[in-house]
Amino acid sequence: MARKTHTAADSRWRDKWVFAAVGVVILLAVAASFLFATQLNGPGEPEARRLDTGWFYQHDGGSEPIASFPCTLDVQGGELLLRRDLSEEEKLHSRYVLTLRSRYASVRVWADDTLVYEAAQGEEHALGSMWHFIPMSQCTDADQLTVELRVYGGSEYTVESFLLDTPGAIRYTLIMDNISAILFGVICLLLTVITLLAAMMLKWWKSRMYAPVLEFSLFLLLSGAWIFLDSKITTLGGGNYAVSYFLSYAAFYLMPVPFLLYIRFMAKDCRRLLNVLVWAFLFNAGISLILHMTGLVQLRHTAAAVHALIVVSLPVSTAALWRGVIRGREKQLRFTFGGILAVYAFGLISIVLFYLKRLPAANSTQLYMVGLFLLIIGIFVDMVTSFSRFWRMKEDAEHYRRLAVEDSMTEIGNRNAFEMHLTTLLNHPLKKLAFVVFDVDNLKQINDQMGHHVGDQAIYMAARCIQAVFSQAGDCYRIGGDEFAVILTEKDVSKVPMLLERFRQEVALNWAVRFPSGDISYGWSSAEFSDEEPAALERIAQLREEADRSLYRQKQVHKAKNTVASTLN
Question: What is the rounded distance in angstroms from the CA atom of residue 515 to the CA atom of residue 449?
Answer: 11
Count of other CB atoms within 10 angstroms of residue 30: 10
> What contacts 310, CB < 8 A, 6 or more positions away?
256, 347, 348, 351
> What contacts 540, CB < 8 A, 6 or more positions away?
422, 425, 426, 433
Half-sphere exposure of 82 (CA within 13 A, CB side): 29
DSSP state letters, 263-303:
HHHH-SSSHHHHHHHHHHHHHHHHHHHHHHHTTSS-GGGGH
Three-state DSSP at 111 gives strand
Question: What is the rounded distance in angstroms from the CA atom of residue 214 to the CA atom of residue 219?
Answer: 9
CATH of domain 415-568: 3.30.70.270
pTM exceeds 0.85 for this model: no
Q: What is the pLDDT along the chain (569 residues), one digit of tens a residue?
A: 333 444 445 555 677 788 889 999 999 999 998 998 888 776 666 778 899 999 999 887 788 999 999 998 988 888 999 999 988 887 767 889 999 999 899 999 999 999 999 999 998 899 888 999 999 888 878 889 999 999 997 788 889 899 999 998 999 999 988 899 999 999 999 999 999 999 999 899 988 888 989 999 999 999 999 998 988 888 888 889 999 999 999 999 999 999 999 988 887 778 899 999 999 999 999 999 999 999 999 999 999 999 999 999 999 988 888 876 666 555 667 888 889 899 999 999 999 998 888 877 666 788 999 999 999 999 888 888 877 777 788 777 777 777 778 888 888 888 888 988 888 887 777 888 899 999 988 888 888 888 888 888 888 988 999 999 998 888 999 988 889 999 998 888 899 999 999 998 888 888 777 777 667 889 999 888 887 777 788 888 888 899 999 989 988 887 777 665 555 55
Three-state DSSP at 513 gives coil
Count of other CB atoms within 10 angstroms of residue 395: 11
Three-state DSSP at 135 gives strand
Strand ranges (E), 323-449: 432-440
Rounded to 5 degrees, what are φ and ψ at 209? -75, -10
Task: Say which CATH class 55-173 falls into.
Answer: mainly beta
Task: Say which CATH class 176-392 falls into.
Answer: mainly alpha
What is the chain's length?
Answer: 569
527-541: burial string, b at 16+ Cβ within 10 Å, e else: bebeeeeebeeeebe
Domain ranges of the chain: 55-173, 176-392, 415-568
Strand ranges (E), 409-493: 432-440, 475-478, 483-489
Q: Please give the helix or strand (H or E) that residue 205 lies within, else none.
A: none
